Amino acid sequence: SQFAYELSETFSLTLNEIKSEIRNTNHPIVWARYAERINTIEKMIVELKRVIKTQPIDVEEAKSLVDEIKDLLSYLASDSDNDCSNHNTAEKIIVFTNQYRSGFSEVGDVLKRAELHYQNGEFDLATDITVEVLKKVHPQAYEKYAESSKRGS
């Protein structure tokens, strides 16, 4: 029972970290993508706590909940981490490329499209078209961006 309780607390902490990472994107679509899954996991954690407080403990039910929560948390963490990373990459490349908007009309047009894709949560597409135009109009600037990204700036 102590082990299951500690697991439930670990699950809660992990879920809170995931929620924090998602909220830090400050992007409503990212949150919307995961809200239902987060809600489901929260309910399952509450149910696990209820099961382990009940005497005698239904070990099979507790084990089943633990296994299911582990799986769901693992998938959620992986999916949300990828999405948040893609969000951050798209945001950075759009902001970086924006400095070339006034010098190249094509950049302005592409950034308008990229920003729409970004707003719609299509981060990979936003990144791809922004990188493409930056490479085309100013290859040295793209190299500068790529180098600064590797350093984590």
Burial 83-106 (b: 16+ CB within 10 A, else e): bbebbebbbbbbebbeebeeebee
pLDDT of residue 67: 95
Tens-place pLDDT, residues 58-91: 889 999 999 999 999 999 999 999 999 999 999 9
Q: What is the mean pLDDT of the chain?
A: 91
Q: Which of 125, 147, 145, 123 is nearest to 134 (CA)?
A: 145
Judged against a pLDDT cut of 60, whether residue 153 lies above it is answered with: no
Indicate the pTM of the whole model: 0.84
CB of 67 closer than 8 Å to CB of 27 = no
pLDDT of residue 101: 87
